[in-house]
């Protein structure tokens, strides 16, 4: 039996932050299904390079705009109704929490309200990209969706954690009050091609350091754990949620958990690097452990990550090696 996805050929989908790391892969997957996709991005952390391969695609449009200011409704790509709106825009890396705090708060709050209004008006399904950071530094492990979290509301990470928690509350309010068809995905650490090498997240940082033969910098003693998910698996999870009638929140990620030291050692091994590990002070409110309870994703969505960590890291290392090679060639030339 051929299963036709709920959103496919003939459907119009809006992806905010479409030129970012995860959203650009989502755009690729939606176009591959035959959807017409409009990406709106202000390039605060994303880049046109991530969607440059789609420049001639007849089903794709890229609009430069800050969605915290609403949508430029008269833009020709934005006048027709959308069948689905995926609100993926937000700076998301630890370095952004310090450098873009107000932008993060605005895109989580004002932009979410504007986009929910548009979803209400269009009768569109609305998907919110939330985060495992909604659990803060969790006291329950692994984290099920029923856990309400342990967030410092005034710490440096609070701009991100609390704006996503606000966005979740707003999404549920529009669902309850206006009947908007919504789905919330709580995304756990995801990695893959198109991440920014300097974004402060462990995988791109360690890979870039290993490829350059620089010391690999671990915060604290490197015993803090994370589970990391390859981007294609996450995208599949988001599409399963999009096609479903689930409101969520639903965790998406993998259950393979490692310490940051183990991850650094694996990357040194896979790159064949001679980098040594060095230790830096631990960052404030950095969660000690994080791993999703995926029961809901498995049972409600049929979600199952497929790409193992070695395979995913190999693909990511290949991408970074090409990018670093290009950058050094440009510097020399």
Q: How far apart are CA 176 and CA 162, in angstroms?
A: 21
Q: Is 160 a catalytic residue?
A: yes
From residue 129, alpha-carbon distances to 3, 26, 248 in Å are: 25, 12, 11
Q: Is residue 237 exposed (0-12), middle (13-18) or buried (19+ Cβ within 10 Å)? A: buried
The least distance separating ligand NAD from the CB of residue 2, rounded to whole angstroms, comes to: 30
| Nearest CB to ligand NAD, comparing residues 30 and 273 | 30
Is 291 within 8 Å of 175 (Cβ atoms)?
no
The least distance separating ligand NAD from the CB of residue 75, rounded to whole angstroms, comes to: 13
Between the two ends of the chain, the Cα-to-Cα distance in Å is 55
The least distance separating ligand NAD from the CB of residue 244, rounded to whole angstroms, comes to: 19
| Nearest CB to ligand NAD, comparing residues 91 and 136 | 91
| Nearest CB to ligand NAD, comparing residues 234 and 275 | 234
Tell me whether strands 257-259 and 225-227 are parallel, antiparallel or unpaired: antiparallel
Nearest residue to 85 via CA among 128, 23, 43 = 128
Q: How far apart are CA 22 and CA 182, in angstroms?
A: 20
| Nearest CB to ligand NAD, comparing residues 17 and 142 | 17
* Residues that bind ligand NAD in the complex, under the rule CB under 6 A: 16-17, 19-23, 40-46, 66-68, 88-92, 107, 111, 129, 131, 187, 189-190
| Nearest CB to ligand NAD, comparing residues 134 and 264 | 134
**Which among 135, 147, 160, 230 is annotated as catalytic?**
160
The least distance separating ligand NAD from the CB of residue 32, rounded to whole angstroms, comes to: 18
| Nearest CB to ligand NAD, comparing residues 90 and 273 | 90
Tell me whether strands 277-280 and 60-64 are parallel, antiparallel or unpaired: unpaired
Q: How far apart are CA 62 and CA 166, in angstroms?
A: 27
The least distance separating ligand NAD from the CB of residue 259, rounded to whole angstroms, comes to: 18
From residue 53, alpha-carbon distances to 24, 80, 179, 210, 259 in Å are: 11, 25, 37, 28, 36
Structure tokens at 273: 């690097």
The least distance separating ligand NAD from the CB of residue 1, rounded to whole angstroms, comes to: 33
Looking at residue 288, the DSSP 8-state letter turns out to be S
For the annotated catalytic residues, the residue numbers are 160
């Amino acid at each position: 039996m051929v299963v036709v996805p709920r959103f496919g050929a003939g459907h119009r989908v809006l992806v905010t932050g479409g030129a970012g790391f995860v959203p650009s892969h989502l755009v690729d997957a939606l176009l591959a299904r035959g959807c017409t996709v409009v990406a709106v991005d202000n390039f605060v952390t994303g880049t046109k390079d991530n969607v440059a391969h789609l420049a001639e695609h007849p089903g794709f449009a890229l609009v430069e705009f800050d969605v915290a200011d609403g949508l430029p409704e008269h833009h020709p790509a934005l006048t027709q109704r959308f069948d689905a709106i995926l609100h993926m825009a937000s700076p998301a890396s630890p370095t952004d929490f310090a450098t873009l705090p107000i932008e993060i708060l605005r895109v989580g709050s004002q932009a979410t309200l504007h986009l929910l209004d548009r979803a209400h008006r269009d009768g569109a399904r609305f998907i919110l990209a939330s985060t495992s950071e909604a659990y803060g530094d969790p006291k329950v492990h692994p984290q099920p969706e029923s856990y309400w979290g342990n967030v410092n509301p005034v710490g440096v990470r609070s701009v991100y954690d609390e704006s996503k928690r606000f966005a979740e509350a707003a999404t549920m309010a529009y669902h309850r009050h206006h009947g908007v068809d919504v789905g919330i995905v709580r995304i756990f650490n995801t990695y893959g091609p198109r991440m920014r090498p300097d974004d402060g997240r462990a995988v791109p940082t360690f890979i870039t350091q290993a490829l350059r033969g620089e010391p690999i910098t671990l915060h604290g003693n490197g015993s803090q754990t994370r589970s990391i998910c390859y981007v294609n698996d996450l995208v599949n999870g988001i599409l399963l949620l999009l096609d479903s009638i689930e409101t969520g929140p639903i965790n998406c990620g993998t259950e393979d958990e490692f310490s940051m030291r183990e991850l650094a050692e694996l990357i040194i091994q896979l790159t064949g690097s001679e980098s040594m590990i060095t230790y830096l002070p631990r960052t404030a409110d950095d969660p000690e452990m994080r791993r999703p309870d995926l029961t809901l994703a498995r049972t409600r969505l049929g979600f199952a990550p497929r790409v193992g960590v070695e395979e995913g890291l190999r693909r990511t290392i290949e991408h970074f090696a090409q990018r670093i090679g290009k950058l050094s060639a440009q510097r020399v030339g």
